[in-house]
Amino acid sequence: MRRFVAMGPALVLLIVAAAAWWVVPGVLRRLDHAETVRRVELARGMLAEDDLLTRLDAAVRRIASAVEPSVVHVEVIEGAMGSSGSGWVYDERGHVVTNAHVVRGARAIRVQFFDGRIVPGVVVGADVLTDVAVIRVSDTGSLVPAVRASSAVPQQGDRVFAFGSPFGFKFSMSEGIVSGLGRIAGPSLDMGGFSNLIQTDAAVNPGNSGGPLADAMGRVVGMNVAIATARDEQGRRSEGQSAGISFAIPISAVEYVVDQLITRGRVSRGFLGVSFPRFSETEQIRHRGEFKGSGIRVERVTPGGPADAGGLAAGDIVVTINGQSTATFANLRAIVSSTRPGEAVRVRAWRDDRFIDAEVTLGEMPPEAIVGDNPEFHRQMLVMQLGIDARRGEGGVTIRGVVPGSPADWAGLTPGLMITGVGTARVVDLKDLAVALLEQGWSVGRDLTLGVIDPRAGPSARPSAVVVRPRAE
């Protein structure tokens, strides 16, 4: 009995501990649940009182309602193959804008509007150097042209909305912000670096190509250049997916090209008449230890050219043109080439420890200046446009490879053949061939007649004419 009495307190403690082990967690859970319910009710009450997000949703829906009727889905038939992209209505006369790479090689085009109508379209013109093309549709009765932000310049951090048909999901919309301005996407895109591209983090995927990029007011500020245009060094498409970095052509560059394609069928670009080092590096200007800015150093001025007449000289460091920074060669080239020939521009340059201002009336950029002197750019251009990987040979350009399904492939060109001419123009190197593409209207859909020989046939081999068409028969 005494032993039981001695063990009593311990037993009581054990029973109390066991009860606490079972009861306390339940109590704590009920208390935690009560706190959660309180927080939820508080949050719901605050959301009911503050409709900020609801108003934001409504604003985004209004942007969709304002832009979507102007968006189109573009279907392209290329021989036995097909592809698709996006576009948008430019005006009430039936002009639709898209990327040049979307309609390249098109044998037939079908344009689908947001209301389900599908109508045929024809290419009015295309500019491969800015990747801009114009399609015309005959059914103009129910068109809703997009509102363009012609005079507005997007700023870093602005909200933007990308429209198009990613992966074939027609009339889709994604949201992001302007991540950067003045970007050059590089030779992996079908462009020549003439546009200061807008960088955004809006989801842009294959199929978004040619779709509009709109601002928070529903105005078009640019045109999407989808990742679908990326290629490897052999010219094969690399169908990438959105990685938080996408690019758009600014509306100012789009309008500059489109208006000329509609009225003239070709694009004229401004020409400054200066040359820069092949690998142009930004010059940092300092004076007496004080930072002044940056620019691009002029290596040579064309005698009698626009820059020469305006007072620029070799050694000048160009800082701005019309108030826009020329911190990189790409920026400078984009500004000049998107200005019409005959227009005067204000050039600020650094010379002899001081700034000078010059007014230069731009000339028209010749094809030789457009393609430049970089052999790698020439090679990439020929891969992307004709579908040939080529090098300079003895007496012409030797074909090293042909991209399957390309215009060169359709024409029957094979590795080992040598191109010696285009029409009446003689071809000695890659630059000659690249210039001929521009001069003879390849970018606006005209056929090329190549002079081709087979060196393997011996010294007596004579050139034969091979017609290369931009689309399959």
pLDDT at residue number 233: 39
- Assess contact for 152 and 178: CB atoms under 8 A: no
**Considering the domain boundaries, does residue 182 fall inside one?**
yes
The answer on pLDDT for 277 being more than 80 is: no
- Assess contact for 252 and 338: CB atoms under 8 A: yes
The answer for residues whose C-beta is within 8 angstroms of residue 400's C-beta and 6 or more apart is 388, 389, 390, 391, 415
Q: Are residues 122 and 233 in the same domain?
A: yes
pLDDT at residue number 17: 65
For residue 159, the domain's CATH number is 2.40.10.120
Give residue-wise pLDDT tens across range 202-231: 988 888 989 999 999 999 999 998 553 444
Q: Are residues 162 and 77 in the same domain?
A: yes
Provide mean pLDDT across the span 45-53: 80
Q: Are residues 358 and 382 in the same domain?
A: no
The answer for residues whose C-beta is within 8 angstroms of residue 323's C-beta and 6 or more apart is 346
101 has catalytic annotation: yes
Three-class SS of residue 95? strand
Closest CA to 159 of 175, 146, 148: 175
Q: Which of 10-24, 138-152, 248-262 has the lowest mean pLDDT?
A: 10-24
Catalytic residue, candidates 73, 84, 86, 101 = 101
The answer for residues whose C-beta is within 8 angstroms of residue 241's C-beta and 6 or more apart is 205, 206, 227
H/E stretch holding 43: helix 2-49
pLDDT at residue number 472: 57
**Considering the domain boundaries, does residue 457 fall inside one?**
yes
The answer for residues whose C-beta is within 8 angstroms of residue 12's C-beta and 6 or more apart is none
Q: What are phi and psi of 82, to 5 degrees?
A: -145, 160
Using the structure block, give the residue that is written with the tokens 């001929």.
436
Give the predicted TM-score (pTM) of the model: 0.75
**Considering the domain boundaries, does residue 317 fall inside one?**
yes
Three-class SS of residue 298? coil
Q: Are residues 305 and 264 in the same domain?
A: no
Closest CA to 396 of 426, 416, 375, 366: 426
For residue 425, the domain's CATH number is 2.30.42.10
In whole angstroms, how far apart are CA 205 and each of 77, 184, 193, 202, 351?
20, 18, 21, 10, 46
DSSP state string for 190-203: SS-S-S-EEEE-S-
Catalytic residue, candidates 86, 195, 209, 242 = 209
- Assess contact for 384 and 235: CB atoms under 8 A: yes
The answer on pLDDT for 387 being more than 60 is: yes
Q: Are residues 297 and 259 in the same domain?
A: no
pLDDT at residue number 353: 81
- Assess contact for 370 and 376: CB atoms under 8 A: no
**Considering the domain boundaries, does residue 56 fall inside one?**
no
**Considering the domain boundaries, does residue 6 fall inside one?**
yes
**Considering the domain boundaries, does residue 115 fall inside one?**
yes
pLDDT at residue number 236: 43
Average pLDDT along the chain: 82
Q: Which domain holds residue 318?
A: 271-364
Any idea what the Cα angle at residue 126 is, between residues 122 and 130, rounded to 5°?
145
**Considering the domain boundaries, does residue 166 fall inside one?**
yes
Any idea what the Cα angle at residue 464 is, between residues 458 and 465, rounded to 5°?
160
Catalytic residue, candidates 70, 84, 86, 131 = 131
Q: Are residues 297 and 167 in the same domain?
A: no
232 has catalytic annotation: no
What is the spatial distance between Cα 453 and Cα 434, in angstroms, rounded to a whole number? 19
Q: Are residues 111 and 169 in the same domain?
A: yes
Residue that finishes a domain, picked among 268, 299, 331: 268
378 has catalytic annotation: no
Which amino acid is residue 205, in one-letter code?
Answer: N
Q: Comparing 279 with 62, which gets the higher pLDDT? A: 62
- Assess contact for 349 and 312: CB atoms under 8 A: yes
The pLDDT-based confidence of 90 (bands split at 50, 70, 90) is very high
Q: How many domains does the chain have?
A: 4
The answer on pLDDT for 174 being more than 90 is: yes
The answer on pLDDT for 62 being more than 90 is: yes
Q: Are residues 275 and 264 in the same domain?
A: no
CB neighbours of residue 7 within 10 Å:
11
CA atoms within 13 A on the CB side of 382: 26
- Strand positions, DSSP E, 276-353: 283-287, 290-297, 300-301, 317-321, 324-325, 344-351
Residue that finishes a domain, picked among 326, 345, 364: 364
- Assess contact for 250 and 196: CB atoms under 8 A: yes
Give the total residue count for the chain: 473
Using the structure block, give the residue that is written with the tokens 């009446």.
424
pLDDT at residue number 176: 93
pLDDT at residue number 231: 45
What is the spatial distance between Cα 331 and Cα 318, in angstroms, rounded to a whole number? 11
Q: Are residues 229 and 331 in the same domain?
A: no
Q: Are residues 253 and 127 in the same domain?
A: yes
Q: Are residues 351 and 395 in the same domain?
A: no
Q: Are residues 80 and 110 in the same domain?
A: yes
**Considering the domain boundaries, does residue 409 fall inside one?**
yes
Give residue-wise pLDDT tens across range 394-447: 888 899 999 887 888 888 889 999 999 888 889 888 898 888 888 877 766 678
What is the spatial distance between Cα 171 and Cα 95, in angstroms, rounded to a whole number? 19
Residue that finishes a domain, picked among 204, 234, 268: 268
Provide mean pLDDT across the span 53-77: 92
